[in-house]
Amino acid sequence: MPGIKAFMTPLGLLQIAAYLPSKWEIRLIDENMHLATDADYEWADAILITGMHAQRKQVDAINTRAHSFGKLTVLGGPSVSRCPEYYPDLDIIHMGELGDATDKLIEYIDNSVERPADQIRLQTIERLPIENFPIPAYSLLNLREYFVTSVQSSSGCPHQCEFCDVPGLYGRAPRSKQPDQVIAELNAIMDHGGRGPIYFIDDDFIANPKAALNLLSSLVEWQHRNGHKIEFICEATISLAQHTDILDLMREAGFMMVFCGIESPDPNTLKAIHKEHNLRRPIIESIRTINSYGIEVSAGIIFGFDTDTPETSEAVVQFVRESQIPLLTINLLYALPNTPLYYRLKEEGRLVEDPNRGSNIAFSLPYETVLGGWRKCLHEIYSPHNLLKRFLYQTVHTYPNRLSERKPTLADLVMGTRLLGGILWKIGCRSNYRGEFWKVIGPLLRSGRIEDVLHIGFVGHHLINFARGCVSGEAEPCFYGDPNRSAFNSSYSRNLNR
């Protein structure tokens, strides 16, 4: 995609940057774009870092480099909030969300940027109410360099899935921003060059259905005022299908895709991991309902549950065939620290510290059996024929159900033309699956459905190549694992250099 350098804006950094005192000079560096330079470290008085568990070694590397320049380091975010013991060498660690700990941090740095003799730990006791969050500092980034801009309207999830750390981090009682607050953030995104799509990163968009309805009414009005320029994406439970009033407004507001954590098509598995809410209606029926409102479903599937069998991979493949979902994240189960799953497996002696494995779990099946099933599944569902067949289903049963009020801008037309040229040349002329590509794309081109061609072209190409990397062993089987394993290092370096 011409000009696009990273997938999604780093909302955590943008939110913290907006909360810091206006008199502070702030330089925000997203290392998905480029690494911080020596000049950046020399310029700064303090280095504030955030990261997830999988980025632990990168966090340590940034900390070591900052200390080599004599700079004070601070770490916040989800990883240190759950596992402060992972980071003994940081000068200050901030555990929890925005709140009283953040105010103490600001006071400390205002008084001194000298490194303390011993690590200082700040724990949020009183959270800043989410309705008091400032507008994220979107001005600190070039939003046009991101494929997706992120926004948050709520925090917290009422469910207690065994493997998930969200309730422990953000609580089970959903907290929601006021609609006018979200609208102000959307206006800020537009004012600073954002062109969509915009991803609502809420843990569950419908965790509070009443709040979701109120927000959606405002989003519909906002889209009408702005000529439906922006497409929205969100994450929600599959029980979204039961809320037809919400789906109605999501369609009118321009929601094009929803990610649902389906995890497994096996009812016994869903019961075992405390995800019974996925069983309130037949999953395939729920997907069809969501599709009928013009919303494409993407899904998360996990391999490695205790209820899995050698036939699990075929069951997942069959589910994908029936559901016709094009985009799925297929992942090995990983026991995130301080989750119910982690504590259970620790008690059972089934946690494994082996850098050569993609997961930290001793599965009930042999590790190679689980890994082989994962690879077999990806090979099957992301073969060009099978993937493009599912996209073809969406062009008949999902995309036509969308409202057609959105009018492309001149910038859209320019970007679309460049994208189309790249897709037709790279995939239609040079790829080794161009025959399958033209079977689907040819009729769409002839009928003028250019947006569908663009979507299928670049998303499909990514998925096909990603799956090939997984099957060959070049890509990681678990998104939460150590990205510094030798099999991954070379591609990680290439991505940074690119």
Helix/strand number for the chain, H first, E second: 19, 13
Positive or negative torsion for Cα 186, 189, 193, 195 = negative
232-235 β-sheet, strand order: 6-8, 146-151, 198-200, 232-235, 255-263, 296-303, 328-332
pLDDT at residue number 496: 30
Q: Which pTM does this prediction carry?
A: 0.92
In DSSP terms, 209 is beta-bridged to: none
Give the other-Cβ count within 10 Å of 417's Cβ.
11
Classify each residue of 67-79 as buried b or exposed e, where b means 16 or more C-beta atoms within 10 Å of its C-beta: beeebbbbbbbbb
Closest CA to 19 of 100, 114, 123: 100
d(CA 152, CA 185): 9
Plot region of 122 (φ>0 → left; ψ -120 to 50 → alpha; else → beta)? beta
Q: Do domains 6-123 and 142-396 have the same CATH topology?
A: no
At CA 179, angle to CA 177 and CA 180, rounded to 5?
105
In 288-385 the beta strands, taken as DSSP E runs, fall at 296-303, 328-332
pLDDT at residue number 415: 83
Instruction: For strands 92-95 and 328-332, give the pairing.
Output: unpaired
In DSSP terms, 123 is beta-bridged to: 95
Give the other-Cβ count within 10 Å of 392's Cβ.
19
At CA 30, angle to CA 29 and CA 35, rounded to 5?
75
d(CA 274, CA 163): 9
pLDDT at residue number 151: 97
Torsion of Cα atoms, 389 then 391 then 397 then 400, to 10° = -140
Cα distances from 430 to residues 273, 423, 426, 434, in angstroms, run 44, 10, 5, 7
Instruction: For strands 255-263 and 232-235, give the pairing.
Output: parallel
d(CA 103, CA 125): 11
Whether the upstream peptide bond of residue 197 has omega within 30° of 0, thus cis, is yes
Closest CA to 301 of 163, 491, 133: 163
Domain boundaries, the chain: 6-123, 142-396
- Containing H/E element for 190? helix 179-191
CB 443 within 8 A of CB 473: no
Q: Which CATH class is domain 142-396?
A: alpha beta
The amino acid that residue 246 corresponds to is I
pLDDT at residue number 354: 87
DSSP letter assigned to residue 427: T
Distance of CA 220 to the CA centre of its chain: 24
Cα distances from 372 to residues 360, 368, 470, 491, in angstroms, run 17, 6, 11, 22
pLDDT at residue number 481: 66
Residue 389, classed as helix, strand or coil, is helix
For the chain, state the CA radius of gyration.
23
When the candidates are 3.40.50.280, 3.40.640.10, 3.40.190.10, 1.10.8.420, the CATH number that belongs to 6-123 is: 3.40.50.280
d(CA 434, CA 307): 39
pLDDT tens, N- to C-terminus, the chain (498 residues): 778 899 999 999 999 999 999 999 999 999 988 999 999 999 999 999 999 998 999 999 999 999 999 999 999 999 999 999 999 999 999 999 999 999 999 999 999 999 999 999 999 999 999 999 999 999 999 999 999 999 999 999 999 999 998 988 888 899 999 999 999 999 999 999 987 799 999 999 999 999 999 999 999 999 999 888 899 999 999 999 999 999 999 999 999 999 999 999 999 999 999 999 999 999 999 999 999 999 999 999 999 999 999 999 999 999 999 999 999 999 999 999 999 999 999 999 999 988 788 899 999 999 999 999 999 999 999 999 999 999 999 999 999 999 876 677 777 788 889 989 999 999 999 999 999 999 999 999 999 999 999 999 989 999 999 999 988 888 778 776 665 554 433 333 333 332
